[in-house]
Amino acid sequence: MDEELYRRLGVADAAPHWQLWSIDPAAGTATDQAGRKVTIRPFLGVMGNTPAAPGRHLTSPPRPVGGNLDCKELTEGSTLYLPVAVEGALFACGDGHARQGDGEVSGTAIECPMAVAELTFDVTDELGEIRTPHLRTGDAWITIGVGGNLDAATFEALNAMLDLLQSRLDVPRAEALALASVAVDLRVTQIVNAGVVGVHAVLPDGALR
């Protein structure tokens, strides 16, 4: 296959159906075989540090140290905060997506190759000690929870958000929970990764003025 053509093709499937997308990076769009068009929001589905447990680790499940998070908010300009569990962190990334909906419900996004991904790294204690991935976008704080079911992932994401609210607003836990019930959105990140699902809690800028 022509290399340039390959770089501009994406695929999403819901077996036995295959959805083929022609990606136009310059226009910022992808068009499927039926002529339907979407705006692309490229991101890497896998971004994570190495877990502390010894042995080999699959890249498919997300973990508290990151991994196959499949969070569509991890686009250009965002900042991902990850716990470090081993010396040197041993960060890894991949799994290019041109666009994905919350949930990644068929098991895939628009899966596509990426010629270049530019990442900048720093070591920081800006958020104190964190136990789950945290994300700063251009207009929100996000905490990500993973677990064997949506209840477990939800409580992990919510607890991390309550920690963040307590730290930033200097309020007790009960007050942070009451504020979260008014200003924080819970969204299903993905339901497809090797028995480990994800939920993210979103605090939009300006929600608590």
Residue type at 190 in one-letter notation: Q
Torsion, CA 195, CA 103, CA 188, CA 60, rounded to 10: 30
200 class by beta-carbon count within 10 Å (0-12 exposed, 13-18 middle, 19+ buried): buried
pLDDT digits over 112-166, tens only? 999 899 999 999 999 999 999 999 999 999 999 999 999 999 999 999 999 999 9
The reported pLDDT for the residue numbered 44 is 98
The reported pLDDT for the residue numbered 205 is 97
What is the average pLDDT value for the chain, to the nearest integer? Answer: 93
Domains and CATH numbers, the chain: 3-204 (3.10.28.20)
Q: How confident is the model at residue 1 (pLDDT cuts 50, 70, 90)?
A: very low
Q: How confident is the model at residue 62 (pLDDT cuts 50, 70, 90)?
A: very high
Q: How far apart are CA 155 and CA 147, in angstroms?
A: 9
* Cβ contacts of 5 within 8 Å, gap of 6 or more: none
Q: How far apart are CA 146 and CA 155, in angstroms?
A: 9
Q: For the whole model, what pTM was predicted?
A: 0.92
Query: Could you tell me if 87 and 123 are in contact, meaning their C-beta atoms sit under 8 angstroms apart?
Result: no
The reported pLDDT for the residue numbered 86 is 95
Q: How far apart are CA 136 and CA 145, in angstroms?
A: 15
State the angle between helix axes of 173-183 and 150-169 in degrees (0 to 180), rounded to the nearest 10.
Answer: 110
Q: How confident is the model at residue 7 (pLDDT cuts 50, 70, 90)?
A: low
Residue type at 184 in one-letter notation: V
The reported pLDDT for the residue numbered 6 is 44
The three-class DSSP label of residue 200 is strand
Share of the chain above pLDDT 70, in %: 96
